Structure 1
């Protein structure tokens, strides 16, 4: 009890377990890896020079940035109007649309990539449909090109763009738009001058997240792209498998990491632009008194004109509103179809009774499900993933909850710095994190072991647990704890009887997201597994690279339906906890 009181006086002590795992598994290997890139102990830039001296490497680096930028811009172009339309929708429709955004985000990225392989292939649904309609005479080259890479990346990253935008847009006071309209502003002017500036934090967060994650994309470009669509993550993975030139690998990884850090440092700042309004403009320093008087006269005429127009249009019903509403509904339908249709088609085609996948299935059969559950290699990979996922979820939830609870009581600056360190593994490019952890695991001899995979996946899972539990604690009324302490309850009893029941939905949500992260992780696991341990994602990725086994459709169907169970579990947890929380608050 004395130890607990001592820890609670210094809340950062609760974050020590999480920081220890982060430092040992990711921090120290990253520092070591950085020194390797500098050719320590001689300390030179020869590795960076060797990488940049080859034109092919520079071309891959530029192409990585180019693909990431264009994928981010496409996500922003689709995501911003989608988030805006969802925010403007009625409450029930808004909730339903938000859930539909969550579903593909929670679905395995491998499954979504596989869905596009089936859709875009020469014998895929799109080409066969066009051939059956007589619109084309031969299959279109839709796959293994830049277009397929953009389609796959945007499909995976679009929810990541929409969710931060929704979070910011739903916090904007709608009465501000109404006030602008009441002052005579047209709809577009009200949006441009009022709503858009207030939504820029969401634009910044979404754009930054999408771009940094796209920098480390490996699976989608490898599966959907051609030889000319290689990205830097593919180059790093190939170097590890073939030449194993540690210096060049380290240099390439830190060049990619440097780009991500620069973007996080620059665009993570507050770009509200308040400094623009400080001081006089250059023109005002030389404009004479007569000219300023003329400007004021013109302004008064303009004010009278705007006032007259406002009086005419105040009660005038705007034309075209039905058309704009219809256009918005069509746009939402197209975006939701783009996000959900590939998963739905995989589920439907998994019941095909033919020798290959087809839509619609000519006959219905469970042959691919029997193939999955009857093959020990598939069921063994599934059982391995479940075991590792449960261990990762338990470890990450306990450690992440303690860290979030301690950080919630820490000073703001310290809380911000420590939180940024803890979530670094999910904000940095996945291939860079994976390579650093891999070399760390080589040093301590944990490559090819379950322990090594658990520690590798726990680094990212802890970050998700910290973020979700911290969001729950942000709405927690700490006066309840003080009230319990004033009634002579001890710190441990207060946490167990008051705090824990109220933050339990966040803890369960953190556990679910930690399990999902573990169950879907493939890039870092493929490096640390050492080809001796096969999780379900690794088994799927191996089959996707070697042969397009229709059994993957059955696996994809199961993994597509899995997020629905997660959302139901989260809803039931929240629904059951809400009355108890309300009851405690009422007391």
Structure 2
């Protein structure tokens, strides 16, 4: 009996509600989808052979991989120096730059995509500028090309590359890089031999995250790319809306999922900032790579010792002009990246006040006509109200379940916590189109397709993951001795959690709630699969208008959505400010 009582007190049971929702809506349906792809119970690979037997499918698959690789490479090339300069900046400037990166990350995906449609269109900002300065006589086709698709996808994915890099770089011990110049290393050598190997976990995690999300990218490629730039996610979505051949859809989805699964299993997704683990990994990889040249390397190292000693004295008193030029170049890179991330939103906001019959930049006159068009049109306001209702319900459900799961995971062993966290984050770490199809099957079994409750549950499986990540990060810095002190004063577990733990982790809970709301309010892919034809959220309404007609009202809607992240960040900062320790009158 005592054993069962102790088992009932284990915090791991707090994760059951979150895992129950995940299992019913995603776990069981994804297994069913896999069995369907294998023609269970006959079990054959005929569907996969049929997929690879069609040259069009193979071409789309390789094109999807090619586009994902190119976008990932561009994000690494741009994101690494940007993250490096952000980390090298002063604390206050670093916070400002991180906020500037977060603003476009939290901005609606459709709003950012629409911004590039406005900028790159035939009557867009770029063509108008080139026409005004006389470089071209007729508009050049910038939109609906592979180039415009790359621009839009990099704009969306770049924050996802920068933020993991900043997180890992901040955890690198600065004394290691500071010690290298004192031993005669040039600045570039110190960076390449010391700092860069320690930052590789951030490069790996950011690149994996960007690549896997690009595999399932649907909205931006479909809106900005041409007919010959289709990705496999677009191909799967077209199958769902047209023939709905579940065997073909399942095999296509699992081909996409297999690529993501292989990369995740081989490389892993690690945001660890510990420099000891990174340096140990780099050292072992170098040893395994050159096992037979160890003696030769040590011999050459001894021969080079006198040269390094002379270079140390020369470098010690060398002028710092090259360092200043490097810092200037880094500052220019950061300014250009911030301009790239923020300028499209500024353009849309300014153009939304245009007084003309169509959008123009700069506006010939100022007017609120497009905002009146939005608030005066029941189809727009009704879609917005539906999105608010659904996002609010998703926020409540995912915040409660995610907080309980994060609290239970924080009290388990590290190995078990790692495995369970990976499972609960699966819906946000695999291609989104695969998640949407699996959730659709799960809601069909429950009879909730085309209902608000079905959309709430569908959005919640991803929102729970965001809440778990943010609340777990808050709990990692929580001093558990406070709970022990409360228990020593005869406070029960529930009282301790309500009076001690909950107030201290409330900023993390509110941050998770904000991310859950944004995730639901901006969701398009899953909503388009499970909403049926009866429910239209604001993102679905915007997507329909972007695909079929460019209504200038979308500019007003997009500008409103671009202001939301600023309000969210103000709310998060307010919660953090309210929860920080208060200094007493006698404190120093």
Tell me the TM-score normalised to structure 1 length.
0.95
Report the equivalent of 1:566: 568
1:158 deviation in Å?
Answer: 0.1
Which whole-Å CA distance do the structure 1 matches of 2:399 and 2:179 have between them?
A: 45
Q: Does 1:82 align with 2:92?
A: no
Q: Within 5 Å, which residues of 2 pair with 1:25-174?
A: 25-174=25-174
Match of 1:205 in 2: 205
Q: Secondary structure at the match of 1:511?
A: helix
Give 1:441 deviation, angstroms.
1.4
1:175 shift after superposition: 1.7
Aligned residues: 573
Specify which of 536, 544, 547 is matched with residue 546 of structure 2. Answer: 544
Residues 204 and 269 in structure 2, CA contact (< 8 A), matched pair in contact too: no
CA distance in 2, matches of 1:5, 1:359: 68
CA deviation map 1:95-126 (0-9, x unaligned): 10000000000000100000000000111000
Helix, strand or coil at the partner of 2:93: helix
TM-superposed deviation, 1:269:
7.3
8 Å contact kept, 2:130–2:136:
yes
1:302: Cα distance to partner? 2.9
The offset of 1:284, in angstroms, is 6.3
Of the structure 1 ranges 326-335 and 270-279, higher mean CA displacement relative to structure 2 is found in: 270-279
Question: Residues 466-511 of structure 1, C-alpha deviation per residue, up to 9 Å, x if partnerless?
Answer: 1100000000011111111011111111001110010000001111
Shift of 1:276: 4.1
Q: Secondary structure at the match of 1:563?
A: helix
Q: Deviations over 1:173-203 (max 9, x none)?
A: 1121110011110010000000000000100
Q: Which whole-Å CA distance do the structure 2 matches of 1:38 and 1:490 have between them?
A: 52
Match for residue 253 of structure 1? 253
Matched, 1:282 2:292: yes
Residues in 1 aligned to 2:90 and 2:34: alpha-carbon distance in whole angstroms: 51
CA separation of 1:275/1:162 partners in 2, compared to 1, >3 Å: closer, same or farther?
A: closer
Are the aligned partners of 2:180 and 2:190 in contact in 1 as well (CA < 8 Å)?
yes
After superposition, the C-alpha distances for 1:541-575 in whole angstroms (9 at most, x for unaligned) are 00001100000000000000000000000000000
Q: Residue in 2 aligned with 1:372? A: 374
How big is the shift at 1:90? 1.1
Q: Is the 8 A contact 1:119 1:125 kept in 2?
A: yes
What displacement does 1:5 show? Answer: 7.7
Q: Distance in 1 between matches of 2:290 and 2:223?
A: 56
Cα-to-partner distance string for 1:203-255 (whole Å, 9 max, x where unaligned) = 01100000000000001111000110000001101011111111000000000
Q: Is 1:24 equivalent to 2:24 in the alignment?
A: yes
Q: Distance between the aligned counterparts of 1:299 and 1:460, measured in 2?
A: 52
Partner deviation per Cα, 1:4-56 (whole Å, 9 max, x = no partner) = 98676211100000000000011111111111111112111111111111000
List structure 1 runs of 4+ shifted beyond 6 angstroms: none
More displaced 10-residue stretch of structure 1: 60-69 or 325-334: 325-334
How far apart, CA to CA, are the structure 1 residues paired with 2:507 and 2:540?
31
Whether the 8 Å CA contact 1:7–1:14 is kept in 2: the answer is no
Kept in 2: contact 1:400–1:463 (CA 8 A): yes
**Kept in 1: contact 2:353–2:367 (CA 8 A):** yes
Describe the SS at the equivalent of 2:355: coil
- Superposed, 1:152-551 pairs within 5 Å as 152-268=152-268, 272-273=281-282, 274=284, 276-277=286-287, 281-283=291-293, 296=299, 302-551=304-553
Matches of 1:24 and 1:154, distance apart in 2: 34
In the other structure, the counterpart of 2:274 is none
Q: 8 Å contact 2:186–2:315 — kept in the other structure? A: no
Gaps of 5+ in 2: 271-277
Deviation at 1:318, TM superposition (A): 2.6
Judge conservation of contact 2:65–2:215 (CA < 8 Å) in 1.
yes
Q: Distance in 2 between matches of 1:203 and 1:398?
A: 33
Q: Structure 1 residues 269 and 388, CA, compared in 2 at 3 Å: closer, same or farther? A: closer
How far apart, in 2, do the equivalents of 1:506 and 1:425 lie? Answer: 21
SS of 2:135's equivalent?
A: coil
Q: Distance in 1 between matches of 2:507 and 2:214?
A: 31
TM-score (norm 2): 0.95
Q: 1:326 to 1:390 in 2, by over 3 A?
A: same
Deviation at 1:161, TM superposition (A): 0.3
Q: Root-mean-square deviation (CA), in Å?
A: 1.9
